[in-house]
Amino acid sequence: MNAKNLAISSIAGSIVYFLLGYLFYGLLFPNIYPSSDNDNLVFVYLGCLTFCILLAYIFLQWAGISQLMSGAKAGAVIGLLYGAAMNFFMYSSQTPNYGNMVLDILINGVTAAITGGVIAYVIGKLS
């Protein structure tokens, strides 16, 4: 595995993932995670970067994914599973809003699909 490919594809993916998060959670569906005065965008970006490092590592090290469509498909599966797991954890300690839970899982799948496609595309261009 090439560390340069991991770093560049992760950064490219994290920028896309961050912007998609703003689009979905900040503009289109702000009621899922309402904004507060304590929001720290640095930590939001670091979360995006961490998730993208995971995707890029899987694509480079284990799956050999370097094409946009295969990255989008793998990203969608990983995003749906990640979204479901995180929502199950979050709603384990509160009264669930099932509409928001399903919507959030779908948003995770869509954003991860687009991000996975970008990461795979960048990997393919760098290889």
Write out the two tokens for 29: 């569906």
The pLDDT tens digits along the chain (127 residues) read: 699 999 999 999 999 999 999 999 999 999 988 888 888 999 999 999 999 999 999 999 999 999 999 999 999 999 999 999 999 998 888 887 888 999 999 999 999 999 999 999 999 999 8
Report the Cα 88 to chain-centroid distance in Å.
17
Closest CA to 20 of 122, 118, 121: 118
**What is the distance, to the nearest Å, from the Cα of residue 23 to the centroid of all Cα atoms in its chain?**
13
The helix/strand/coil state of 67 is coil
pLDDT digits (tens, 9 = 90+) for 62-95: 999 999 999 999 999 999 999 999 999 988 888 8
Predicted TM-score of the model (pTM): 0.94
